[in-house]
Structure 1
């Protein structure tokens, strides 16, 4: 079985597939390291210790701190997930209130449950045009942040995601100003924006816009191994001792030196190749969009507040769903996308994509576009996240303690979710434990299952709900 695992992985990686998905190194031979076994050591004298860095790890952290102009940049080997858990733990104590963007990643909701926090939600702005019709969440507005903070004077910190999975960027500077008026910290999940600091024409990183803690997944959009990430601390609103304790709690006590070496190699690459890679990447990306602007039925969607390396392809005018488009691109053209949902699919481009990658992707879309038919007007209805946030009956940590029962999803309207329910990717919950299933949500989830999407928290058409409280 172990040999089967390695053989399957090796055979897959030998296929001629265009990887329009993470990790950001795209298996590009420009990003190489020696035999991994030769670098796999532990905390022995001479190679430092992530949890007490004083030598080479400290040097790398200090170098990154200087480059980002942060107060301190920390290395993460358990992904952005551990950074998010640590950041929230550093800012909140059990029972505290936290202001949370409703479209945050599941790791945020896990932190809320673990710490017994009381979330106050802010809902993303509804986008105009095709992006809104596709159900893609818009930016978080500073005015909404101010309103919720005014209504809840005891909130201890604010947590938002920017950019989103689909590349939507919020006004971090405006949000930071609103949050700091209450003298509380702002945490930004910038997992999908690790490349912002390295490409001048792209949105500015939250590190330079006033956020207090910023978490970036290097592996998503830069040439680094999966699980590598960094956490940037700025300003003086963070309890540094509690942050360090949280990082030691959520990170492995035996951190991988391979992953830390990958972080070092990643930054060596982007600093050395910064101007060359950024220039060629932007040119290749612009050429891709010029080629796909001729699409008649499919459509590549852009907007002003967007990271254009997230390539959103709408199937709304065709008979295809996003999932069917993803499958056809792989089967016919050897192009693998990152994800699909409803009437769109998503590709991820990075500085490690070659001109050939972009060219094959564009030609595949154009060729497929010519073979498609328009959807009949009004005949198309697909899975979407664009539903009203559910009513909360209790907090997630309270629901966790209650007896649970399993029922048919079709009969769940009015029942209280005992577990989070979400599509993965992107990992944004439809329902959080403690919230009430609405009929609208049940209908959308049933549509999703019929369309072949994997909805986590739903197994064989059944969900776990809390026993009714008498």
Structure 2
């Protein structure tokens, strides 16, 4: 069916036709200059010179569900066509477009599995993004959290999947949730995990938010879709060039989960999705299928690889590669991670983050050789005024470059939404009281403490030190207070 119409027979399968290469974009172009008597209120026209200068062209394509523009939550036309083409591009059985970021996809996947398989507990890597825990709270689910292995610098370094498979042998498991690659670009092949889960029919949900580009170049690890996961989330804006908040959820395994996924997305995503975000996802699928995006990716890797070697030549032990050639860590002297970030910012260069003594650089698809030259120059000038001595990689006694906020032990716990009257307290006063909000270093967005956890004196001291060093901790207000639940006296 190439005209985008819904099937005329109940239950008939819908497949992408051979019509438009970017169906949403082409439909938006036909509506760009029509007279509007509908929302959004700007009517497609800027209402001032500032708006015109910043958003003028975009307003023409900022639309709502009119005519042939389809409906994300009941897609039978161009959106359904574009999603089917995206599934082809990434090797999935079906793909859903997300306008609430990868977070919406993670939560929808977890809630769908919970609905379809109400019994058992979740197995999950403890370095999961907070959206996974939000889904567990909404579902009132129980999970066994497995701590990741950690490298010499404190970076989460993936898992030995045998630890997951051992739990599968012992207890009823509802679903398994893992994150790969890690925020720092480490990837462990999924084959062994997929094999043990398939024998028992347990669905595997993979948060591959930072690996949407995997599998599109031979120098990259394979996509989790190709590795056999059942549900895979790609944050398309992070590595595929879509607009911020645009993402995809790929359905790969049993089709029995499809309706539950759709039902969850209706609850989690806006009823007025942005057509600019949808159009950017449409262009991603088109560029993957045409080869334009893999070609851009190849060019970015061609810049990134020699750039990393040049940075390592300045300080051999201070540039840590990863499994993703577009992502590498820059190691600063003890306590100077924020100074490194500030140094680059003063040179007009913004990095992804500094966390502890580590800064993370992510090479964008549009990187130019001269951008790499500027990064190298700033790196050289940073070290030019510092002592020549530098701790060797993995040196005995060197403290971790990344504050280890991920607990090292396995933990089994039930998640639920908190309840009670809130009040704010400074860290010292909050010791011993149940937290109302998670405490989440951001980025990378991995919770350190959960709602209901009681803050210890050691926790308060660690938080104070991290905040003093410039860390951003969601759950801590700008005035240094946190929300706790009041408890009944006696």
State TM-score, norm by structure 1.
Answer: 0.84
2:64 is paired with a residue whose SS is: coil
Shift of 1:451: 1.1
Partners in 2 of 1:177 and 1:150 — Cα distance? 13
Local SS of the residue matching 2:69: coil
Pairwise CA distance, 1:387: 5.3
Cα distance in structure 2, aligned partners of 1:146 and 1:323 = 40
Structure 1 residue runs of 5 or longer lacking an equivalent are 12-32
SS in 2 for 1:239: helix
Q: Give the deviation of 1:419 after TM superposition.
A: 1.8
**CA shift for structure 1 position 309:** 1.2
Q: CA deviation at 1:343?
A: 0.6
1:166-219 per-position Cα deviation (integer Å, ceiling 9, x unaligned): 112122222222322331101001111111132221011100001100000111
- Which ranges of 4 or more aligned residues in structure 1 deviate by more than 6 Å? 5-8, 375-383, 390-394
**1:403 Cα shift?**
4.5
For the pair 1:307 / 2:331, whether they are aligned, the reply is no
Q: Tell me if the contact between 1:122 and 1:148 (Cα under 8 Å) persists in the aligned partners.
A: no
Q: Does residue 273 of the first structure (1) align with residue 292 of the second (2)?
A: yes
Aligned partner of 2:453 in structure 1 is: 435
1:347 Cα deviation after fit: 1.3
Query: 1:78 aligned to 79, 100, 111, which one?
Result: 100
Aligned to 1:437, what secondary structure does the other structure show?
Answer: coil
Aligned to 1:214: 232
Tell me how far 1:356 sits from its aligned partner.
Answer: 1.6
Are 2:466 and 1:451 aligned? no
* CA–CA separation in structure 2 for the residues paired with 1:178 and 1:344: 36
Distance 2:452 2:414 in 1: 5
Alignment partner for residue 344 of structure 1, among 344, 349, 358?
358
Inter-partner Cα distance in structure 2 for 1:95 and 1:405: 36
Aligned partner of residue 109 in structure 1, secondary structure:
helix
Q: What is the TM-score when the length of structure 2 is the normalising length? A: 0.80
SS of corresponding position for 2:350: strand
Higher deviation after alignment, 206-215 or 417-426: 417-426
Report how far residue 416 of structure 1 moved: 3.5
Q: Distance in 2 between matches of 1:376 and 1:210?
A: 43
Asked if the contact 1:76–1:83 (Cα under 8 Å) also holds between the matched residues in 2, the reply is: yes
Q: Distance in 2 between matches of 1:7 and 1:280?
A: 35
**Aligned Cα root-mean-square deviation (Å):** 3.1
**CA, structure 1 residues 375+396, in 2 after alignment: closer, same or farther (shift >3 Å)?**
farther
CA deviation string 1:283-319 (max 9, x = no partner): 111110121121238711025xx2121121011xx25
Residues 96-107 of structure 1 mapped to structure 2, 5 A cutoff: 97-107=121-131
Q: 1:284 to 1:245 in 2, by over 3 A?
A: same
Contact conserved, 2:123 with 2:175, CA < 8 A, in 1? Answer: yes
The separation in 2 between residues aligned to 1:49 and 1:347, in whole angstroms, is 38
Larger RCO, structure (CA 8 Å, separation 6 or more): 1
CA drift of 1:262 comes to 1.0
Tell me the residue number matched to 1:329. 344
**In the alignment, is residue 463 of structure 1 matched against residue 482 of structure 2?**
yes
Residue in 2 that maps onto 1:57? 79
Which residue of structure 1 aligns with residue 374 of structure 2?
360
2:308 is aligned to: 289
**Closer/same/farther in 2, CA of residues 340 and 363 from structure 1, 3 Å limit:** same
**Counterpart selection for 1:42 from 53, 64, 70:** 64
Alignment partner of 1:373 is 2:395: no
Report which of the two structures shows the higher radius of gyration computed on alpha carbons.
Answer: 2
* CA separation of 1:207 and 1:275: change in aligned 2, threshold 3 A: closer
Taking a change above 3 Å as real, the CA distance of residues 85 and 379 of structure 1, as seen in their structure-2 partners, is: closer
- Shift, 1:84, TM fit: 0.9
What is the SS of the residue equivalent to 1:195?
coil
- Offset at residue 274 of structure 1 (A): 4.1
1:28-427 paired onto structure 2 within 5 Å: 35-93=57-115, 97-127=121-151, 132-133=152-153, 135-151=154-170, 153-236=171-254, 238-270=256-288, 271-274=290-293, 276-296=295-315, 299-303=318-322, 306-315=323-332, 318=333, 320-331=335-346, 333-373=347-387, 384-386=403-405, 388=407, 395-397=414-416, 400-410=418-428, 412=430, 414-427=432-445
Shift of 1:376: 9.3
Gaps in structure 2 of 5+ consecutive residues: 1-45, 392-396
Whether the aligned pair in 1 keeps the contact of 2:144 and 2:412 (CA below 8 Å) is no
In the TM superposition, residue 158 of structure 1 has moved relative to its aligned partner by 0.9
| Residues 430 and 441 in structure 1, CA contact (< 8 A), matched pair in contact too | no
Name the stretch that deviates more: 82-91 or 351-360: 351-360
Counterpart-to-counterpart distance in 2, 1:391 and 1:186: 19
CA pair 381-281 structure 1, distance change in 2 beyond 3 A: closer
Describe the SS at the equivalent of 2:82: helix
State the secondary structure of the residue aligned to 1:197: coil
Partners in 2 of 1:160 and 1:393 — Cα distance?
16
**SS of alignment partner, residue 68 of structure 2:** coil
